[in-house]
Amino acid sequence: MPIEIKVPSLGESVTTATVGKWLKQPGDAVKADEPLVELETDKVSVEVPSPADGRLESHAVAEGDEVDVGAVLALLEKGAAGNAAAAKPAPAKTDAKPAAPQAKAAPAAETPKETDYDVIVIGSGPGGYVGAIRAAQLGFKVACVEKRATLGGTCLNVGCIPSKALLQSSENYHAAGHDFAAHGVVIDSVKLDLAKMQARKADIVEANTKGVEYLFKKNGITWLKGHGKVEGTGRITVDGKAVTAKHIIIASGSDSANLPGIEIDEKVIVTSTGALELSSVPKRLVVIGGGVIGLELGSVWGRLGAEVTVVEFLDRLVPGTDKEVATQFQKLLVKQGFKMKLGHKVTKAEKTKTGVTLTVEPSAGGQAETLEADIVLVAVGRTAASKNMGLEEAGIELDKRGRIVTDAHFATNVPGIYAIGDVIAGPMLAHKAEEEGVALAEILAGQAGHVNYDAIPGVIYTWPEVASVGLTEEQLKEKGTEYKTGKFPFMANGRARALGMTDGFVKVLACKKTDRVLGVHIIGPAAGELIAEATMAIEFGASAEDIGRVCHAHPTLSEAVKEAALGADGRSLNI
């Protein structure tokens, strides 16, 4: 019986993908793990591999079709012989960037012989400013275009940094009122000074953005203040003023996505930007979207006293994470007071004198109901910031989702113009963009810059934290990979007990045949810090035994990683 090859899990809040390119045709002979088709989404570009040796029987969908996660892509006759001519080895994969449609060549354009700069970077977010610094270190004359009043992009100004500041402050507030007594620290009355909390956040943002400004001066990077627009090879304008460069790097980042029919005013219906600036704690906060951003900001306001309800289209939180971790995560959030409406969608948002009335109905269809909220946070993902930059006019190819199409070396189809970060395919993560910025600068200098996309960690900074790197159990099963699991609970870790932070566990997934670490998933205290060891292990091809044989200081939370690694071979010591 033919094997059904289905659309795999594709990441957080991603339910559909576009069929980019079929790499194998019906009748072709294929090998296990050989790529069959390329899929494109807002967040990631993936190749779907064959689960076994055999012959591709048929395609169930065509190039350009939109397909749901779990939908059948093709049928494979396991073990059957196929067309010998088609059974060529798959092209060697490069780890320089995720798979993406090949850019169509644009007419060659002549780069100005004498330019104002060697490298111009458009956008000063993590990818842009880190790429600019690395280029300057390599001897290039560099400028960075930024239209904000401060450097650092979304991440430092209205994203990663301010959200983590509020997460820490709200965690301290909650701990003072609920957790300190168990340590013998009795506080009779805990008061919230939200204005001071917001001021502290602003100070942290300013320190970070000023830090980038200092780094620009230190490395001789010119800040071109204004709106950057691409004119073609070697040419841009900044607020209408022409500037030239040998190499142009677009690092414009991403914007908050919205839902049809919902008008965002950043006052009562807000994106993450507005949610970071609330001047009072809402009594009722509805978060649309069960992904990272919504759960982090929901945690901030939930700890400060808001009643938080999460409406998620899918039947689970944070799609793309390991399912066992996601299930435990949901239980712990509910225990903290979160209300969950999974498998539901918002069809209407009507502003009232007291807030917002939302119409919500089951994703699969059914009886609609209404939810009343003081504040509604729309957190349904992000979209590439590629508009109003002259990209299409300059002939730069964009995909169906508005992302810039690049090759394996971040080059667009227009000579001398490159792109990195959220504006191209791949996970929208600040550290992914940073790695691409460094790699591209090194490529431009003639070095072998690269990014290993199999070793990009992801972290959710809630309580408990959730962190992962590599493949999930679900992905391993879909690939037909034989694996073994080692798991260790923080309840059995001495340091976690001393901290009073025993929720969660570490899970190590290793190849059953070779013991190579394939994925690590952590839910618990300091998960975002602990995942670095696992990322290093995957980067250097370590085995679970390698982790288990490394001496870890005692008592530390990191011992839970060691114990989970030992557990993959059935020899955990403390459980």
Catalytic positions are: 554
Closest Cα partner for 226 from 214, 241, 211, 215? 241
Residue 456 in tokens: 């990009």
- Strands 307-312 and 284-288 turn out to be parallel
Closest Cα partner for 555 from 474, 501, 519? 501
The burial of 240, by beta-carbon neighbours within 10 Å (0-12 exposed, 13-18 middle, 19 or more buried), is given as exposed
Residue 303 in tokens: 């700890």
Q: How far is CA 560 from the centre of its chain?
A: 25
* Four-residue CA torsion sign, 92, 95, 100, 106: negative
Residue with tokens 């709200």: 170
Q: What three-state secondary structure class fits 503?
A: coil
Q: What is the DSSP string of 406-456?
A: --TTSB-SSTTEEE-GGGSSS---HHHHHHHHHHHHHHHTTS-----GGG-
Alpha-carbon distance of 44 to 87, in angstroms, equals 27
Closest Cα partner for 320 from 93, 44, 91? 44
Q: What three-state secondary structure class fits 521?
A: strand
Name the amino acid, one letter, at 56: L
The secondary element (H helix, E strand) that includes residue 573 is none
Alpha-carbon distance of 348 to 76, in angstroms, equals 43
Peptide bond into 555 cis (omega under 30): yes
Residues 6+ apart with CB under 8 A from 240: none
Residue with tokens 């142009």: 248
Alpha-carbon distance of 317 to 511, in angstroms, equals 27
Q: What three-state secondary structure class fits 149?
A: coil
Peptide bond into 464 cis (omega under 30): yes
Give me Rg for the CA atoms of the chain: 25
Residue 285 in tokens: 């906060």
Q: How far is CA 77 from the centre of its chain?
A: 35
Q: Give the 3-state secondary structure of 52-87.
A: CCEEEEEECCCCCCEEECCCEEEEEEECCCCEHHHC
Instruction: Quickly count helices (H) and strands (E) in the chain.
Output: 13, 30
Which stretches of 223-380 are DSSP H helices? Answer: 272-275, 292-303, 323-335
Alpha-carbon distance of 177 to 188, in angstroms, equals 9
Q: What are phi and psi of 215, to 5 degrees?
A: -65, -35
Q: How far is CA 257 from the centre of its chain?
A: 14
Alpha-carbon distance of 54 to 5, in angstroms, equals 12
